[in-house]
Amino acid sequence: MNSIRTALLCATAVAALVVCTGAAPAPQGAVSAKANSASTNPFAQPSTLPLQAPPFDKIKDTDYAPAFEQGMKEHLAEIEQIANNTAPPNFDNTIVAMEKSGRMLDRVSTTFFNIVGANTNPTLDKVQEEMAPKLAAHQDAIYLNAKLFQRVKAVYDQRDNLKLDPESQQLLKIYYQQFVHAGANLSEGDKTKLRELNKQEATLSTAFQQKLLAATKAGALVIDNKADLAGLSDQEIAAAADAAKQRKLSGKWVIPLQNTTQQPLLVSLKNRAVRERLFNASWTRTEKGDANDTRDIILKLAKERAEKAKLLGYPSYAAYVLYDQMAKTPDAVQKFIGALTAPTRAKAADEAKQIQAAIKADGQNFELKPWDWEMYSEKVRKAKYDLDQNQLKPYLELNKVLHDGVFYAANKLYGISFKERHDLPVYQPDVRCFEVLDKDGSTLGLMYFDYFKRDNKQGGAWMSNFVNQSSLLGTKPVIYNVANFTKPAPGQPALLSWDDTTTMFHEFGHALHGLFASQKYETLSGTATARDWVEFPSQFNEHWALYPDVLKHFAVHYKTGQPIPQALVDKIKKSQTWNQGYELGELLAASELDMKW
């Protein structure tokens, strides 16, 4: 049963992350569900690779659609068998049976949505477009199945007499709540309305995701004159030249867009007009009135979701989403945000005042604008704390941070170790795979790392599972970490910012959450927790980046091998309170907007 949960959660998460080309024609044979037979499809049976890792060397783009179709068919057959079971409903023949169902659909869903997020193409986009409404209908065929819900409810109603262990009690509770939340108690007429709303929501969410990725790619800033890149490092200029080369723009430079509004290079670009162009390219990427404009889709999606929430008895879509989160209600969220708003605004205003003064001290008389903030905020940081972020990069080489920082900390804390697996296939040449070994030498899981930005990758950084841990299913975790660090030009080292470095530790904190999963049921495994709690392990882990014993192992100059000076470390620590009003203000504003929509 976790297969449909995985498919729908993956689809929603992918759309939420941000990201494809608009009107590209689908390749020949792209999504035919008859492209191959079930027996030869690589998803038909569990992978024979270690820990059932996806056989990326055998998976073709044309395998996904038929695997989805066959997976849904098999899953529905299993669900019908459970719903029509003539034996009295009990925990094993109903709840556990659903937990075991849909294995093929689970395999194709987890692999597909992870690949679409990190390495999509027009063929996969077309598959996603076609499958999104079908997966929504598949979900409804399960959660709106009256006979199935009767069995789930019958087991739930006798929960106090079943003598279940705590994990089984939680599983039963979640299944019952998911059915109710999905509309199992609605009338047949309202169920029909809900099916249509779910179909439209799935279609719109997919369209939004694909338009966003396309707009992000199309919005990359093209620079004709190298002088306009003044302020960038040699490595950054080389990366921009390589990005132009990849786009066949000979003699030019390209600055690809990240998913955030503010762009990393705004901190260094001296030419104010270029900064303004870069900021506006980012800010308006989906508001150009072209095929990638998302404003109409966002409005339609908000209306569909509001109608769905009302149909299900909630005053707003926010209330619908928060029902099983720690916050529980929009009022609780607003109270939390409200308590932070005034002090954050005051802090940001003070920061703006200091930045405006820095502009004046630089001999300029213009008014602070969004495209000036990053550069002049950094000037204030340098003046207040004698710290230039560019001083840090030579000490933050990606491989050193990974092996002697992220891995080292995990080994010292938990006794786990890492062995690179060059024998296992990957989905893109830049991806690296590691076997994770527990302190007793046994295999704990597999980890893939996909760190560099590509035009076909969604923005941001995240963790997800290809295989979820479950003692019931006999599976161990297969996980990936994804980021969007600037890829260096060939032969150049990948030098990170301090923010990139903490991102690596942060996302590996999520990975540890998944690697240390020790649940019987996949539905409860690893990061399958409340979304407003799931960030705790990751935020906890990122603090180890500055821990002295860890820092001295990875923060070594990539040329000289000299450790980072303690004076520079002290400056990092002291400067961490700077710009927090602005950064928290961005989060609060986004949260407010999210609650409204």
Nearest to 455 by CA among 224, 236, 215, 227: 215
**In this prediction, what percent of the chain has a pLDDT beyond 70?**
94
Pick the catalytic residue: 304, 351, 507, 542?
507
Query: 393-564 maps to which CATH number?
Result: 1.10.1370.40
Give the pLDDT confidence score for residue 596 in this predicted structure.
87
pLDDT band of 388, cuts 50, 70, 90:
confident
Would the pLDDT of 29 be above 50? Answer: no
| Rounded-to-integer distance, Cα 200 and Cα 132, Å | 9
Domain boundaries in the chain?
Answer: 2-214, 219-283, 393-564
Mark whether 78 is an active-site residue.
Answer: no
Q: Is the Cα dihedral 230, 233, 238, 241 positive or negative?
A: negative
Instruction: Kindly state the average pLDDT of the residues 120-124.
Output: 97
| Rounded-to-integer distance, Cα 10 and Cα 110, Å | 7
The answer to whether 473 and 100 are in contact (CB under 8 A) is: yes
Give the pLDDT confidence score for residue 2 in this predicted structure.
58
CA distances from 224 to 241, 253, 254, 362, 553 (A): 11, 7, 9, 27, 41
The tokens describing 125, both together, are 């986009």
Strands 478-485 and 462-467: antiparallel
Instruction: Kindly state the average pLDDT of the residues 203-230.
Output: 97
Would the pLDDT of 107 be above 60? Answer: yes
Tens-digit pLDDT profile for residues 546-568: 999 999 999 999 999 999 999 99
Would the pLDDT of 32 be above 50? Answer: no
Give the pLDDT confidence score for residue 18 in this predicted structure.
28
| Rounded-to-integer distance, Cα 266 and Cα 386, Å | 20
* C-alpha count within 13 angstroms, C-beta hemisphere, residue 431: 21
| Rounded-to-integer distance, Cα 17 and Cα 157, Å | 38
Tens-digit pLDDT profile for residues 360-382: 999 999 999 999 999 999 999 99
SS3 450: strand
Neighbours of 519 (CB within 10 A): 18
Nearest to 534 by CA among 443, 464, 447, 458: 464
Q: Among the CATH numbers 1.10.1370.40, 2.100.10.30, 3.40.50.720, 3.30.428.10, which is that of 2-214?
A: 1.10.1370.40
pLDDT band of 35, cuts 50, 70, 90:
very low
Whether 2-214 shares its CATH topology with 393-564 is answered: yes
Would the pLDDT of 20 be above 60? Answer: no
The tokens describing 257, both together, are 């867009």
DSSP string, 529-549: S-TTTTHHHHHHHHGGGG-HH
SS3 397: strand
Instruction: Kindly state the average pLDDT of the residues 8-35.
Output: 35
Would the pLDDT of 1 be above 70? Answer: no
Would the pLDDT of 9 be above 90? Answer: no
Instruction: Kindly state the average pLDDT of the residues 91-99.
Output: 99
**In this prediction, what percent of the chain has a pLDDT beyond 90?**
92
